[in-house]
Amino acid sequence: MFIQTLITDPVLFFRIVVIVIFSITLHELAHGWAAISQGDNTPQQKGHLTLNPVVHMGVESLIFLCFTGIAWGQMPVNPAKFRFPRVSNIIVSAAGPLSNLALGIFFIILIKLFANPDSPGIFSFEFLYLACRINLTLFLFNLLPVPPLDGFHVFSEIFPQLKPLQNTNFGIFAMMLLFTVPGVGRGLSMIAELMISATIGV
C-alpha cells in the first residue's frame, strides 16, 4: 500500500502527496472558473474559489490519498445556469483535464530550463519529472469516457446516446475495473512518460 512509502522512501511519499494535492486543487479551480465564465456562479456562492485543498478534496480524500495514493476532488456547478448548455458543459468539463495538461507542459518547460540532477529541491529533475508525469497521467485518466469522470461529460455531449449510461451502474463497474485490473493505471503512466520523453528526449 502507498502508505508504506512513508517508511521506505519518505521524500517520495511527501513529493507525491504535495504534487497530487496541488494538481487536484488547480484542476477543481479550473472547473470553477470555467463555470463562472459560462454564467454559473455556483462555485463562488459555495465558497469553492479558494486554494484550500480541504474545500476541494475533503478530509476523506486527503486521508485516502495518504494511505492509497488515490484522491479525488469536487467542484459544485449548476448546468442549468450555463449560457449554452451543451457547449458550456463541454468547456467546464474539459477545463479540469486541460489544467493538468497545462501543468504538465509547465513542468516540462521547467525541466528544460532549470532541472538540476544534483539539486534536492523543487528544481531537481526527479521532482519536476514526477510532477509532470502525475499531471499528464491525471489528464489522460480524467479524459476517459467513464462516468463520473470529466471525459464522460465531454463525450456524452458530443455523442448524446452515451448519456443514459450516467443513470446505470456502468460507471461504478468501470471505475472498479480501472482501479483493480493490474496495469491500467501503469498503462496511463507509461503513456505520460512517452509524452515526456518525446518532448525532452529522456
Catalytic (active-site) positions: 28
**Phi, psi at 147, each rounded to 5°:** -65, 140
- Report which residue type is found at 34: A
**Residue 31: count of CB within 10 angstroms of its CB:** 26
Q: Are 170 and 162 in contact (CB under 8 A)?
A: no
Q: What is the DSSP string of 68-136?
A: HS---------GGG-SSHHHHHHHHHHHHHHHHHHHHHHHHHHHHHH--TT--STTSHHHHHHHHHHHH
Which of 181, 105, 101 shows the shortest CA–CA distance to 140? Answer: 101
Which of 162, 147, 157, 155 shows the shortest CA–CA distance to 79? Answer: 157
Question: Helix, strand or coil for residue 21?
Answer: helix
What CA–CA distance (Å, rounded) separates 191 from 11? 25
What CA–CA distance (Å, rounded) separates 116 from 25? 27
